[in-house]
Each structure stands twice: as structure tokens, then as C-alpha cells.
Amino acid sequence: MSKPLIGVILGAVLGAIDGLTAWFTPAVRDQLFGIVFGSTIKGIIAGVAIGFFARKFHSLPIGILFGVIVGAILAWLVAFMQGGYYFQIILPGTLVGLIVGFATQKYGTPATAN
Amino acid sequence: MRWLSDDKLNHLRSVVSQPDFSATKYTFVKELGRGGMGVVCLAEDRELDRLVALKVINTPEITDDLRNRMIREAQIIARLEHPGIVPVHDVGTLPDGRIFYAMKYVRGSRLDEYAAQGASLRDRLRKFQAVCDAVAFAHAHGVIHRDLKPQNIMIGSFGEVLVLDWGVAKIRDDPRSSAAYQTGDGTVIGTQNYMSPEQARGEVDQVDERADIYSLGAVLAFLLKDQPKVSKATHAIASKATATAKESRYTSASDLSADIGRLLDAEPVSAYRENAFERTSRWVGKNRFLILLVLAYLLMRIFLIFTSRR
């Protein structure tokens, strides 16, 4: 399995879980579908970016750092558009980036040299 | 009349028994070891200003057959250009007619010494895999070592692995390499604890690549014997390699090497069928950091759910 594909799958799954946890916040429960959809798309975007990065750069610490940065930036954008819940959105988003960064460095087929 | 002391007499004896390199470009430094038919010396190559290991025939009677064997051994090693096989630099004749050949001088320790120094199981398996690769290369070139044992494997000071002593090697499909030519029919060659059953029975025609695989399995068993935590899969690899029936062993040294590689990568090995629990444990062991990360993520999620509800 290629690294970007691992990133997409993991990003989508963790993003969806991330969105589903909004159910526990009654204030936003009625927007659950939109949150899950948006969160999944955010996870996929992060996964693709981190996966392609892992294909180019083979370094676990740099891959994790890149994942954390991408996860944090995307989560901050979402929180900014929401106009609130910064902590509740940025913290999990950053951790998802970390996990995807780790997984794409550790697993998946590296790009073949031309 | 003065009598010589024992020390002086011993010194004189050792000097007399030293090979005479005077007509060569080598200067004797010291003796490194003695085998069944030869002595290995450390010598200095004066032209290239480097140390080399010289193997010289050292038997009371030097027959043409012995001389041919020595040249053949040098030719065998010379044709095996591989990082895991000690290279031959030169072949020559001493003034007394004895054949010698010069090899790379490997600084380091033998595999048994390396194991005794407390190398980890993982390191031992990595070195063992390198030995399998070197032997697989030799097999691909039609050469069967026939005397693989920890004493014939060197670990260099930079961790490089070198297979030594190809003196009793057999070349497949070589008429000069018949049993009679090399050892005499029925002659047992090899080392007791590392020798395949067919080799121990003296069935020279039955000895093929799988005899080396048996020896490799015995070397692996040696590397495992003082290790406290060895998985069933690791033992199964050694058992498959040392199966009494050669048909039950690995078909090639590459297959054995591949199984060791899978073991090191925490993947299932061909020699062992694991149950569901073992499969799960192996997967958890291999992915424990990722599992910890996901658990940390879920814990953080639970924490956020509780804090946002207050």
C-alpha cells in the first residue's frame, strides 16, 4: 500500500471519529452530519499531504513534525471558520496529524527511484 | 660447551617451522592458526604495504593432490566475489615448493566469540542472515561450502560478516570436484556438530546445497542456545533447516535468509504456523507505538467529551 493511500485511509477514519464525537456536545448535535463530513474531508486532505511528504522524505521525526503542523493548521482553519471551540478542535486535529505522520513514515511502500 | 635454554630451543623450533617467504613479496608477522592441512599466517605485503592472511600447506608430505586442492581452494574463493566471502588477492609458491595464497586479513572476531561477547538476539539474527546471503551467493555459483560452523565465520570490526575456509568446498557439476578427487570415497569431511546426516555418513554424492542449509541451521541453533527469550518461530526455523531428511529442509539458503528477514520484520515465517493468539501478539508487538498513539488519541477524546459537558 502506498504512503499517500495509508495517509488518506487513516486521515479519513480518524477524521470521521473526530467528527462523530461532536454528538457528545449537545449544542452542535444537530449539525453532526456537516461536522462529520467536514472533519473527514479535513482528515483526507491532511492524509494526502502527509502521505506525499512521507514519500519524499524518509525521516520519522520530520514526518511526525510535518504531520503535527499540517494537522494543527487545518484544525485551526476549521476552528477559525467555526468561530470557536479552538481547543476542542485543534488538539485532536494535531494528534491526528501526529498519528498519520508516524504511520506514513513507518508503513507503506516508499516511492521507487526512477 | 653451552647448552641452549628451553625458551631458546622453542624459539628456534618456531622459526624453523615458519614458512619461508623470502622469495615472495610477503614478510611473516605471526601465525594466526592451524587447520587440517594448512597454517594461516599474518604477513605484510611489502609492495602494497598492507597486512594479509596467508594460507600455506603445512603437512609432512606434500602431494600433487594436496597442491591441487590448495590451488582449487584459492580458485573457488577467487570466483566468489561477494562482500560476505573473504577475497583472495594472490596465489604463489614458496621456495620449498609449498603453495600459498593471500587473502584479506579480517580484523574482528569469530562468530562464536562474537556470540560470547553478549550480542543481542536481533544482532545475531542479522549476522546470521548475512551468512545465509553469502552462502546463497556461493550456491548460485555452484559452490557448496561443506564446513560451515561459527569458527569459520568472521565478524569484522565494522560489523561485516565474512565466510572463511572454503578448503573442503565442493563445486557442483565439476568433474574435478568428484568425491574421489577431493577426499576419497566415503571420507567424512566437515565438523561433527554442524554436519548434515548425509555428510556424516560419508555419502559425498548426496551432499548438495541442503547440506550447507543443515550446517546453517546448526549455526543458528548455536546462536540461540544461550538466549533467554527465543520465539517458537525462531526455533522452528532452526529445526526446519536441520531436518534429518534433506527434502524437509529449506530448498535454498535464500529461502532461509528470507525467513530470517521476515522474523526480524515481525512477519509470519514459512517454518511456523502460528495460532490466532500468536498472530495477534506479533501484530500488537510490531505496531505497539501506533496502538499507543491511537489509544492516547481516544483517551484525549474522552477527556475532551467530559470537559466540554461541564
Q: What is the pLDDT of residues B112-162, one digit of tens each?
A: 999 999 899 999 999 999 999 999 999 999 899 988 999 999 999 889 999
Range of the domain at B259: 108-264
Decide if B5 is inside a domain.
no
Reported as type and span, the H/E element at residue A111 is: none
Catalytic residue set of B: 147
The full set of domain ranges for chain A reads 3-106
Name every residue whose Cβ is closer than 8 Å to that of residue B157 and which is 6 or more positions away in sequence. B107, B108
d(CA B100, CA B85): 18
Residue B215: what pLDDT? 95
Residue B296: what pLDDT? 86
Decide if B2 is inside a domain.
no
d(CA B275, CA B267): 13
Residue B174: what pLDDT? 63
Same domain, B255 and B210: yes
Does the CA dihedral B244-B248-B254-B256 come out positive or negative? Answer: negative
What's the pLDDT tens digit per position in A66-88? 999 999 999 899 888 878 778 88
Decide if B1 is inside a domain.
no
Residue A29 identity (one-letter amino acid): R
Most confident among B15-24, B98-107, B177-186, B198-207 (mean pLDDT): B98-107
Q: How many domains does chain B have?
A: 3
Same domain, B158 and B250: yes
Same domain, B89 and B135: no
Cell numbers for B54, please give them: 596467508
B297/A99 CB distance under 8 A: yes
Decide if B85 is inside a domain.
yes
Decide if B6 is inside a domain.
no
Does the CA dihedral B54-B58-B64-B69 come out positive or negative? Answer: negative
Residue of A nearest to B296 (CA): A95
Residue of A nearest to B292 (CA): A99
Q: Is the pLDDT of residue B185 over 70?
A: no
For the question of an ipTM over 0.90, the answer is no
Residues of B in contact with A104 (CB under 8 A): none
Domain boundary among B104, B119, B138: B104
Q: Is the pLDDT of residue B16 over 70?
A: no
How far does the CA of residue B295 sit from the closest CA of chain A (Å)? 11
Q: Exposed/middle/buried for B110, CB within 10 Å: 0-12, 13-18, 19+?
A: middle
How far does the CA of residue B289 sit from the closest CA of chain A (Å)? 9
Q: Is the pLDDT of residue A47 over 90?
A: yes
What's the pLDDT tens digit per position in B58-103? 776 777 777 787 787 788 778 888 999 988 888 888 887 888 888 8
Decide if B280 is inside a domain.
yes
Residues of A in contact with B294 (CB under 8 A): 99
Same domain, B85 and B121: no
